Amino acid sequence: MSNLKIAGKTKLSGSVAVSGNKNAALPCLAASLLLPPSYLREHPSLFISNLPDIRDVWVFSNILESWGIKVNRIDKNTVELSKTLRFTEGPVEKSIAPEEARKLRASVLLLGPLLRQQERVVLPQPGGCKIGPRPIDTHLELFRDLGMDVKQNEDGSFVIKRNTEQEKLANGDIWLREASVTVTENALLFAAGNTQKDLRIQNAACEPHVTTLCRVLNAMGAHIEGVGSNLLFIRAGSSLFVSKNSTIMDRLEPDYIEALTFAVAAAVTKSEVTIKEILPWHLALIDKYLRLMGLKTLFKTEKYGGNWSVMGNSVLKISPELKEVKAEPWYGLPTDALPLLLILATQCQGELEFVDYMYNGRLTNLANSLNNMGADIKLLGNRGLLVKGPTPLKSRVHLSPDLRNGVGLVLAALCAEGESQIQNFEIIERGYENLPEKLTALDAKVEVI
């Protein structure tokens, strides 16, 4: 276990570059399971660059390697993926180990590509961050709608089995009850390369990382239409990698939640910071919220991205126009933005209500920790909070509950009086590449102990 020690009330300055999108990395890695078998001399491969150098990426890579996917690490942010000669297809069943599933909730993304290649998959209960109930019902419903048999074992694991006759009867028209990112990605990973039946996904998630996966799969030979919308159409008849020496290259887009993290760090420390290597259109709505909370911001667009200057004013005041911060499916405000904006609200003049449609009670632990630091936050049921500010915060020792709430505590510590510690810092490192080094480069006083 590691802790992060943070000295509060330190002015930040300078610039920081944003890493690749964590939530795009894992489904693109899973796409390697759809590669055709390798050949002795030349083989199809998938290159992914701007890959964040974080634990989740390498845990996922280790799972793939154990099944015969060659993960050639070109550098810390670039990999080449291909199938080795020992990769087996057909009767040998690949299974997800319980310890792997516990480490990584994204192990659920393995269902789609595995079921494209084998008749049966056993999925142990996925782990990941503890941010309230996170059932996988919508995933199971997807595979039932596709004509598969799904049952749950006594140990809590799930068995999904292909049923040829039922699959023929399924109409190929899927309507998701929830615009889930990982369910949409599982559907895409299963349908890509299908030569038998078209698949239409209605109420699909359309986050940028879903678009990235669509781009990679189309480059591999799939035919996905409606990319970037909530209606996706995957045409049958496509054959992935028609040439044995095909090579696909993709560069992951920057992580807009990491960009917001540094923006809030600048705001709560009354500092001016430039955030580099961002895509302004990913941040347009987030930028509007920051302006309504009293910040001055400026985008500078460049050919392959841009910079985002964030100026934390001496007085931050919530606009009368802004009554609530509500997480919604993309193109709305991402749910992962809520813990970060919650920290900002404690340092703003005015009242602001927060509503999370997705996770029941996700913000409760963070609110309680902030109240212990001196914040004024009232719980409104399981999905809402009312924040009154500004309130000075005092240093505390915290146990990081999960990735996003944990980094929220880091931001709170940056503006608190005194020295704070965040325990279980490795949980935060699951989603942030070199966070201590990046904060130090901005003149923050942080130390991993």
Q: What is the pLDDT of residues 258-284, one digit of tens each?
A: 999 999 999 999 999 999 999 999 999
142 has pLDDT over 50: yes
Sort strands 419-423 and 397-399 into parallel, antiparallel or unpaired: parallel
Q: How far, in Å, are 52, 127, 187, 238, 400 from residue 1 at the CA level? A: 21, 18, 36, 47, 11
Domains 4-19+254-448 and 22-251 belong to one CATH topology: yes
Cα-Cα-Cα-Cα dihedral of 312, 316, 322, 327, to 10°? 50
In the chain, the amino acid numbered 205 is A
The CA distance from 125 to 102, in Å, is 7
C-alpha–C-alpha distance, residues 363 and 383, integer Å: 8
Q: What is the pTM of this model?
A: 0.93
CATH superfamily, with its number, for domain 22-251: Enolpyruvate transferase domain (3.65.10.10)
Mean pLDDT of the chain: 89
Identify the CA nearest to 375 among candidates 415, 338, 407: 415
- Cα-trace Rg, the chain: 22
At residue 132, the pLDDT reads 43
The torsion of the CA quartet 39, 111, 182, 425, rounded to 10 degrees, works out to: -90
pLDDT confidence of residue 86: 66
Q: pLDDT at position 35, please?
A: 86
Q: What is the pLDDT of residues 7-46, one digit of tens each?
A: 999 999 999 999 999 999 999 999 999 987 655 445 678 9
**What's the order of all strands across the beta sheet hosting 445-448?**
397-399, 419-423, 4-7, 445-448
Residue 85's pLDDT is 64
> How many other CB atoms sit within 10 Å of the CB of residue 91?
7
* pLDDT 10s digits, 323-373: 999 999 999 999 999 999 999 999 999 999 999 877 677 789 899 999 999
**Residue 280: half-sphere exposure toward Cβ, Cα within 13 Å:** 14
Strands 45-49 and 247-251: parallel
* pLDDT of the residue at 241: 65
How is the chain split into domains, by residue range? Answer: 4-19+254-448, 22-251
Which are the catalytic amino acids? 129
pLDDT tens, position by position, 225-257: 999 999 999 998 766 765 545 788 999 999 999
Mean of pLDDT values over 158-178: 88
Is domain 4-19+254-448 in CATH 3.65.10.10, yes or no? yes
Identify which has the larger pLDDT, 36 or 431. Answer: 431
Task: Give CA–CA dist 175/416, Å, rounded.
Answer: 47
